[in-house]
Amino acid sequence: MGVDRILREARAAVEKIVPANIEITAIDFEGPVIVIYTKNMEEFARNADLIKKLAQGLRKRVSIRPDPSTMLKPEDAEEKIRAIIPEEAKIVDIFFEDSTGQVTIEALAPGIVIGKKGNILNEIKKVSGWAPNVVRSPPIPSKTVSEIRAFLRSKREERKVFLRKVGRKIARQTLDGEDWVRVTALGGYREVGRSAHLLMTRNSKVLIDCGIDASSSQTPYLNVPELMPLETLDAVVLTHAHLDHSGLIPALYKYGYDGPVYATPPTRDLMALLQLDYMKVAVSDGSNAPYSSAHVQKEVLHTITLKYGETTDIAPDIRMTFHNAGHILGSAVAHFHIGDGAYNVAFTGDIKYEKTWLFNPAVNRFPRVETVVMESTYGGHNDTQPSRHEAAAQLEDILRRTQERGGKVLIPVFSVGRSQEVMLVIEEKMRHGEIPEMPVYLDGMIWEATAIHTAYPEFLNNSLKNRIFKDSTENPFLSPIFHRVETRDMRERIINDPEPLIVLSTSGMMNGGPVMEYFKNWADEPKNSIIFVGYQAEGTIGRKVQGGMKEITFNSRGKQIGVEINMEISTIDGFSGHSDRRQLINYIANMEPRPERIILSHGEEKKSLDLAASIHRKFNYDTRVPKNLETIRLH
């Protein structure tokens, strides 16, 4: 059996590499990681090369952990740790990570937790057996992050059982015979929305993304024979949290899937936030959500998080690495290494190939890549976006103009990504006096999504990360101009406020959400403005308003509402989290190494075909634009 063989090889490698004075008590699988338990953690700490040698020898991710007999139970350890740390450290949270044997202590004054020459940390380690990791508490507390940590803490034993099962499935023996690799388009091809790709080999099946179409609630083609039954899937890989990529993943657990979801840590938290809100909006609109909160919880319990650059086995013949995609917090390009060097394919998800106010540009350098499956949202011939600087100037002009005529500004935004960038620009413009100061209200999940950004500073660009953690006066997200809309009464007061103001509100495509309350009350007034800063899918109310419709009818709390539109309508493309045509072509032009094939998805048919033709002419690549349900053999 593959599992027994790998564990035997692991023990042999350990005996060969690890000095005899280090006691190894157990070796086991936990998810894609081989876990080695020891009573001599200090020896490993003193010899960092040991772990590197073990990983190289085993060709697996390796985690060294203290033997459980040397560690207090988390609840007992927490009590001891709180007794050791002085009150003035102001502990915000303590959470234990079985996967590392580490206890992370979040505090407002981390220096006090560390103590003089690390004396408090040493005491914590001696008393509890856990390795302390001290971090500064995020400046904006996140309810989502706290609740997910608490949930995972409560399900610790259940998660261990699940991870062992995953590890054994990954380690199973592969079939003999001809190897092959293919990709099936299950959604999001020649369209935007319901992204889903099935990557298959002779031995494995991996679903990349599983989204829902915001404009029509259409779902991917999940009932195809090659995907069913869902229990045969090895893994689900999520490139980022937006609902057109993540929105249907909990339904997989409803219909029998019981395996892992691989995502970055912020993607895990954001997907849960967006999915729960999607359910809430569906209920308020009088429709049924395709899953319950219990399925979202199961998804979170089954999520294995990976940082950028961390390579892991996800199936017996597939290894995966996430790289920064530059689109939203935690968004990733998923790179798959298949077989023993047989084939490499990268799925970009949604990418931004330039530095933005939030992120570094998308990564396009890989050890090897033969095929790239790439988005083409703005791949059309005329899809050229203004620069970030031009977008900021455009926003400044509209805000000043609307304020001068005594109007209000409504900006429909996705809670994740565009809202934070627009916040940064408005804060900077007001701080420098370039636009008059006025209140900026954040409605929907924007505040909570912003809090999650501050919980994961390592996923932001360096300049913003430094500003967030310097002090509260430097953190742009804590500016007094921003106000969180917390109640329906507060929303009513804002709607009826006679003074100029700005509202950023979800949903970004105006297909429900609090944005519609402001819109139906302000749309008929010429002095008001609505500004679109993100993609508006075909068929959404946002696309209709953006296109100049003068009257819109939509459902509001079960009633059909007709709205006359006289407000100023503007679109600022430079805030997009998607690459424009020029950036998409440059992403491929600068890619190392040179791929053999480009497959285009996530774009309206005309734009995808246009981009494919241009890439073929320019680089002589094999370019494909499959339809949903088509399969392409890669190898």
User: For every residue of 552-593, which 3-state class applies, written as one string?
Assistant: EEEEECCEEEEEECCCEEEECHHHCCCCCHHHHHHHHHCCEC
State mean pLDDT over 75-84.
94
Can you give the pLDDT at residue 497? Answer: 97
* Alpha-helical runs (H) found in 101-178: 110-114, 119-128, 143-154, 156-170
Q: At what angle do helices 143-154 and 156-170 cross, to 10 degrees?
A: 80
Please say if the pLDDT value at position 47 is more than 80. no
Query: In this model, does residue 557 exceed pLDDT 80?
Result: no
Encode pLDDT of 389-430 as tens digits: 999 999 999 999 999 999 999 999 988 988 999 999 999 999
**For residues 224 and 250, is the Cβ–Cβ distance under 8 A?**
no
Say what the pLDDT of residue 473 is. 66
> What backbone torsions phi and psi does residue 105 show, to the nearest 5 degrees?
-115, 115
Q: What's the pLDDT at 97?
A: 82
Tokens coding 24: 């190894």
Per-residue pLDDT reduced to its tens digit, 244-301:
999 999 999 999 999 999 999 999 999 999 999 889 878 777 778 899 999 999 999 9
Q: Is domain 2-69 in CATH 3.90.380.10, yes or no? A: no
Using alpha carbons, select from 313, 354, 351, 317 the residue that is nearest to residue 332: 351
User: With contact defined as beta carbons under 8 Å apart, do 422 and 532 qualify?
Assistant: no
Q: How many residues does the structure list for the chain?
A: 635
Instruction: Tell how far CA 476 is from the center of its chain.
Output: 22
Minimal CA–CA distance to 238: which of 350, 122, 366? Answer: 350
The lowest-confidence range among 52-56, 480-484, 515-519, 540-544 is 52-56
| pLDDT (tens digit per residue) in 169-178 | 998 888 888 8
Q: What is the mean pLDDT of the segment spanning 24-41?
A: 86
- Average pLDDT over every residue of 21-30: 87
Q: Which residue has the higher pLDDT, 312 or 9?
A: 312
- Residue 440's nearest CA partner among 423, 421, 416, 461 is 423
Q: Are 163 and 112 in contact (CB under 8 A)?
A: no
* Beta strands 408-412; 551-556: pairing state: unpaired
User: Is the model's pLDDT at 471 over the cut of 60?
Assistant: no
Lowest mean pLDDT among 238-242, 476-480, 488-492, 590-594: 476-480
Instruction: Kindly list the distances between the CA atom of residue 348 and the CA atoms of 182, 479, 586, 619, in Å, as whole numbers in the listed order.
Output: 17, 34, 14, 19
> Across all residues in the chain, what is the average pLDDT?
92
Q: What's the token pair of residue 455? A: 């919980």
320-365 residue pLDDT tens: 999 999 999 999 999 999 998 889 999 999 999 999 999 999 999 9
pLDDT at 99: 64
DSSP characters over 31-48: TTEEEEEES-HHHHHH-T
Q: Which amino acid is at 399?
A: L
CATH 3.60.15.10 fits 177-381+578-633, yes or no: yes
Give the pLDDT confidence score for residue 196 in this predicted structure.
Answer: 98
Q: Are 536 and 566 in contact (CB under 8 A)?
A: no
Enter the tokens of residue 483: 């106000």
Identify the residue with better confidence: 219 or 50: 219
Helix extents (H) in 416-487: 418-431, 446-455, 462-470
CA distance linking residue 375 with residue 608, whole number of Å: 8
The Cα 144–Cα 241 span in angstroms is 14
Torsion of CA 619, 622, 625, 627, to 10 degrees: 180
Distance (Å, rounded) from C-alpha 512 to C-alpha 509? 8
Burial of 124 by CB count in 10 Å (0-12 exposed, 13-18 middle, 19+ buried)?
buried
Residue 200 CB contacts under 8 Å (≥ 6 apart), including other chains = 181, 182, 183, 184, 206, 226
Class of the domain covering 74-137: alpha beta
Reply yes or no on whether the pLDDT at 470 is more than 70.
no
Mind listing the pLDDT tens digit for each residue in 143-200?
A: 999 999 889 988 988 998 999 899 989 988 888 888 999 999 999 999 999 999 999 9
d(Cα 521, Cα 224) in Å, to the nearest integer?
A: 45
Round to whole Å and give the CA distance between 362 and 355. 8
pLDDT greater than 80 at residue 42: no
What percentage of the chain reaches a pLDDT higher than 70?
A: 98
Average pLDDT over residues 503-516: 90
275 Cβ neighbours under 8 A, 6+ residues apart? 243, 246, 247, 249, 250, 291, 296, 299
Q: Which 8-state DSSP code applies to residue 365?
A: B
pLDDT band at 33 (very low <50, low <70, confident <90, very high): confident
Q: Which residue has the higher pLDDT, 533 or 15?
A: 533
Instruction: Given CATH 3.40.50.10890, say whether it is the number of domain 388-575.
Output: yes
- 74-137 shares its CATH topology with 388-575: no
pLDDT at 176: 82
- CA–CA gap between residue 75 and residue 71 (Å, rounded): 11
Beta strand 343-347 with 131-136 is unpaired
Q: Is 168 exposed, middle or buried (0-12, 13-18, 19+ CB in 10 A)?
A: middle
Q: Model confidence at 551, in pLDDT bands (50, 70, 90)? A: very high
Domain boundaries, the chain: 2-69, 74-137, 177-381+578-633, 388-575
Confidence of residue 125 (pLDDT cuts 50, 70, 90): confident
Looking at residue 242, the DSSP 8-state letter turns out to be S
Beta pairing partners, 52: none
Would you call the peptide bond into 74 cis, given omega within 30 degrees of 0 as the criterion?
no
Beta strands 33-38 and 24-30 are antiparallel
Cis amide bond preceding 608, omega within 30? no
Give the CA distances from residue 278 to residues 177, 266, 296, 349, 507, in Å, rounded to whole numbers and listed in that order. 45, 18, 11, 21, 10
Residue 472 has pLDDT above 70, yes or no: no
| Across 557-578, average pLDDT | 90
Burial pattern 187-226, b for ≥16 Cβ within 10 A else e, equals bbbbbbbbbbbbbbbebbbbbbbbbbbbbeeebbbbeeee
